[in-house]
Every structure is written in structure tokens, then in C-alpha cells.
Amino acid sequence: MSLLDDLEQLRTEALTAFAAAGDAKALESARIKYLGTKGRMKELLGRIGKAPADIKPQAGKLANQIKGELEAAFGEAQARAGKAQAPSGPVGDITEPLPPEKRHTIGKRHPLTRTVDSLVEIFHALGFEVVEGPDVEDQRHNFDDLNIPADHPARDSFDTFFLSGTTDALLRSQTSTVQVRMMETRPPPLRIVAPGRVYRPDAIDATHSSTFHQVEGLYVDRNVSMADLKGTLKLFVCGLFGADTKVRFRPSFFPFTEPSAELDCTCPVCLGRACPVCKQSGWVELGGCGMVDPAVFEAVNRTREDNAYDPSLWSGFAFGFGIERMAMRRHGITDIRRFLENDLRFLRQI
């Protein structure tokens, strides 16, 4: 029998075997016999190289054709076998409560999600609207319109994740970008908070991560002052950590606020008495805040036609806090990496 006849015989036998296979086990046996690494097809393909020159091209073309047919037939037979083995009978009601002995396995919200829910609830009560912005930003929203100069170190690739092949598209390094986007599309007065994920190429250790969460706040109205900022943040901190929590404001500098301050509160773990969480100081840092720099309003006006954010008429304050930092203070956690490890032993303790 010639090589061409053997190929045709293989086609007939294999197609018949795939069609007759009654279950997945029989089908797999047929596949190994005809299409396996030591199967009939492999054997016949090896004979093509030794075939006479006059039939070698024809044999190679026929072998490839048959191999494709058999692979397709096996796939169809496999699909049929899967349907045939589909479970039958009554389907369980997934809405039915678990018996008491199994309820301890029900999942719970992640500590970060619970912290976000708490702070959103507090700011809702203070009249703030929750908004969102894109994770992928451009340099204008992430730097230019926030009064961050071109030679600022934050623009360096060591401090910002730029997308491959571009110098403009980047992963936002702060949720302050949402401030600009909201002012571009909405007129004052404005009162918003924007929780979200941010990205920075920091070396990962117990207090730093390359991806973490921030909540950004912005309030713009007539005659807004530092007194409004201090009163709002005092209410927020006491709502999150307890009514007895004390706050303090330390002078600082941020390009998009003037004057600027760092907000501290008494350690929620030791209540200001000193412990490892607050490094024996009794105070923990929450984040930065300040009055919106008029240069930010002017940058927003350049994208609007109505000059809505006239610095002579409107003022505002802004703040930005790390959500992981607040969750760590709230639960006495000393290593930020715990939030991303998804270790059930840790999550069940919170």
C-alpha cells in the first residue's frame, strides 16, 4: 500500500473513531492513537521525507489537509462530549442562605473598602459629592494645570510611570488631577471628594508601595478661608477616628496650594500616649492640604470660555490623604504590603 493510500485510510479510521467515541475517555484514547506525539499521523508525516520525489509534494499537501480535518473533527467531538456530560437534575438555589456551620466562610469587605466607605459617608454628611477620574492621564492634568513647573522632580521618570512609547500619557501620580477635570466641566461653587488609585515608582517597603489609594477633596466658593479648611478637616478626622481625636496643622509647601499645610492627628492606636505605630511621638501624619493657588484657577480658565474661576471672585481649599495610611492608623497596621497580599489570616483579623 502506498503512502497516499495510508493517508486516506488514516483519515477514514480516525474520523470514524472520533464520531464513535461515547465519552471523553474514549475520545482521548482515539486522539492519542491518531494525533498523539507517537500516533499514526506523526508516523506518516515522518515517512514523507523518504517518499519518492514524484509523490512527495502530493503526499505533503494531502497530509496537511488530513491533519487539519482530523483536528477539527476532534474539536467537534470534544464539544459534543462536553455537552453530553453536562450535569442534569435540579439546580441548587444560590440565593439560599448557608447553614450556620458554614457561614464563617462568607467573605467580608476589604479593610481598604471599609475605610473608603467610612470616609465617603463622612464627606457626604459634610455636603461633598463623590466623583471619579481616569487612571491614565496626560501631563497637563497631572502637572501643568496643578502649577507644577517643568523642572519639578515629580515629572522625572523615577517618580512617574510614563506609558511605553510616549512622554505624555502616564499613570496618574495623584488624585489632584480630578480637581482640574471637575473645574473644567463644572462652574463654581464646587464641593467634591475623589477617592481612587494612584501610581508611583517607589521602592516597596513597610510604608511605601508602587500603587496605593488617595482621597482628594476640593471646595470652591466665595470667601472660603483657612478657617473653613480647618473646621472641615477637624470634623472629618473626628468622624473617622473618634470625637476625642486632636488635630494639628504644620506649615508645608505644595505647588497647587498657597498657603499649604500638613495635617496630623493624635495616634488612634495609643490615643497620643506614644506607641510604635506613631513612632513614640503620639501623632500620625494624614496628608497635605491648603488654599487653592490662584494659578490653578487661571490654568482652568484657559480651558474654559467663560472665565468661570476668576481668582478675584472665588477661593477654595483642597486636601489629599492616603487611604492606606488612614486604614493603617485606624486598625494599628504597621506594614502597607499587607493590603495587597490578600492573606486570609490577616484579612480575617480586621
**195-238 pLDDT tens trace:** 999 999 888 888 788 899 999 999 999 999 999 999 999 999 99
pLDDT band at 59 (very low <50, low <70, confident <90, very high): confident
Q: Does residue 256 contact residue 284 with C-beta atoms inside 8 Å?
A: no
pLDDT number for residue 117: 93
Nine-digit cell string for 337: 504590603
Task: For the chain, give every domain's residue range.
Answer: 3-84, 111-347
pLDDT digits 0-9 by tens, 150-199:
888 877 766 889 998 777 899 999 999 999 999 999 999 999 999 999 99
pLDDT at 105: 62
DSSP for 118-183, please give it.
HHHHHHHHTTPEE----SEE-HHHHTGGGT--TT-GGGSTTTSEEPTT-SS-EE-S-TTHHHHHHH
**pLDDT value, residue 39:** 86
Sequence-separated (6 or more) residues with CB below 8 Å from residue 6: 44, 47
CATH fit for domain 111-347, picks 3.30.930.10, 1.10.287.1120, 2.40.30.70, 3.40.50.620: 3.30.930.10
pTM: 0.67
pLDDT of residue 55: 85
| Per-residue pLDDT tens digits for 251-301 | 999 999 999 999 999 988 788 888 877 788 889 889 999 999 999 999 999
